[in-house]
Amino acid sequence: MSDTEKPKKLKLPEKATPEKRVPGTPRRSPVRASGVVKPRISTAESKAEEAKRRPPRHEEGPVSEKKPRNRPTTPNRDARNTDEGAPKPRRTTSSTAREASPTFNPDLRPAAPRNYNDTAPARAHERRTRGADGIDTQQAERPRRTPAAKPSEPQFKDADGSVRLSKRMAELGLCSRREADDYIERGWVKVDGVVVDELGSKIMPNQKIELTPIAETTQTQRVTIILHKPVGYVSGQAEDGYEPASVLITPENHWEEDPVKRRVEARHLRKLAPAGRLDIDSTGMLVLTQDGRIAKQLIGEKSDVEKEYLVRVEGPLSFDDLKLLNHGLMLDGVALQPAKVSWQNEDQLRFALREGRKRQIRRMCELVGLQVVGLKRVRIGQVKLAKLPPGKWRYLGDHEKF
């Protein structure tokens, strides 16, 4: 190619002018490198083609088109409130509902709930009726359900002559009633060889009661303490600024010459209850125990354990007054039981009583003109205070019985 010749220009293809689409015809998708894409179809055309391919629902006739439901149009607020003073209409379902509501009819009330323990249905006369004044005139009494008894537990019927098991155990001296309830709950009591663990069970007096070995072992581990109470301590709860005598039960106050060679343990010093009273200004023997049997024996209603006192008095005492001290005096309008009163020495009397009223000896002496200067309890039953010093305590031996 010579220098004079000009290079030819490449002829580029002319740009295709887009065709104008006739209305109603489908759009055509543009041509791409991978090929021609299927033209898009409108929604109406796709539904028409799908209807052609779908088999008719009914062979006898053409498929009926679903007609739209005619819903009542809600009138606007202005149309509803044309009459401002008129009341709003109520929604009614029938012509009977537009009538006035009937008066209360007691016969139309529902029947009382049925008790499913009864097989017979509720009767009309058992329903609650209401009088004209609005007060209930009749009401059916519905029976209460009684829980079914456990088949494994023995049942003791409340027959004539039956007594509570705990009371019978206390009468036999097996334990106190409080301990009996505890043993029954733990299942430590047998009646005629059957374990009874239900509180409130009743038995006949001729039935045999036994304690399990674990209950007997528990009783043997409980202790009883003899204390020589000094003046200035109360036997029970603290009162009027005076401390209870139980504060003296400490390892330091244990009598060194205690005939019961037993090691002091912490459990021995807990849950000790006084079995009897002794005034603040009195001294002598006081029993504190963990065993309910001993407490019942000493302070129970039927207790007849004799208690001996040495009483220092001032004033003259005639022979007739000494007879009255033995028997014939009354306190609070109640006659006293016979007592044993005698002279111990020139200024001391010896009292032996089987009952213990509040400040009984001091009040008895006042009735015969005597003034009590000092009072000391030296014996309860067959157990004596002996040489136990004031403020000291010792264990009750297994061989000692009140």
pLDDT at 311: 95
Place of tokens 């209305």: 23
3-state secondary structure 158-190: CCCCCEEHHHHHHHCCCCCHHHHHHHHHHCCEE
| Inter-residue contact 273 to 295 (CB < 8 Å) | yes
Bridge partners of residue 268, in order along the sequence = none
Cα–Cα distances (Å) from 64 to 46, 56, 67, 136, 143, in that order, read 20, 10, 9, 65, 66
Sign of the torsion formed by the C-alpha atoms of 381, 382, 383 and 386: positive
The first and second tokens of residue 385, run together, are 């205070």
Q: For position 197, what pLDDT does the model report?
A: 86
DSSP characters for 236-305? Answer: SS-BTTBPBGGGG-SGGGB-TT-SS-----GGGGSS-EESS---TT-EEEEEEES-HHHHHHHHSTT---
pLDDT at 226: 94
Longest dimension (CA), the chain: 182
Identify the H or E element spanning 353: strand 348-353
Active-site hit among 182, 197, 258, 279: 279
Per-residue pLDDT tens digits for 277-309:
898 999 999 999 988 888 888 887 778 899 999
- List of the chain residues with pLDDT < 70: 1-41, 55-159
How high is the pLDDT of residue 388? 94
Question: Directed axis angle between helix 319-326 and helix 360-367, to 10°?
Answer: 150
Residues linked to residue 307 through DSSP beta bridges, in sequence order:
353, 380
Q: How is residue 51 written in tokens?
A: 């209807």
Return the structure tokens found at 253. 């106050």
What SS3 class is residue 217?
Answer: helix
Q: Is 341 helix (H, G, I), strand (E, B) or coil?
A: strand
Which among 242, 239, 326, 235 is positioned nearest to 288, based on CA atoms?
235
Domains (ranges, CATH) in the chain?
Answer: 163-220 (3.10.290.10), 224-395 (3.30.2350.10)
For residue 195, give every residue at least 6 positions away whose Cβ sits within 8 Å of its Cβ, in sequence order, or none.
Answer: 187, 189
Is 279 one of the annotated active-site residues of the chain? Answer: yes
Please state whether beta strands 371-380 and 283-289 pair in parallel, antiparallel, or not at all (unpaired).
Answer: parallel
Q: Which two tokens stand for residue 31?
A: 């041509």
The pTM for the full model equals: 0.53
From the CB of residue 207, how many other CB atoms can be counted at a distance below 10 Å?
Answer: 14
Q: Which of 307, 316, 296 is nearest to 360 (CA)?
A: 307
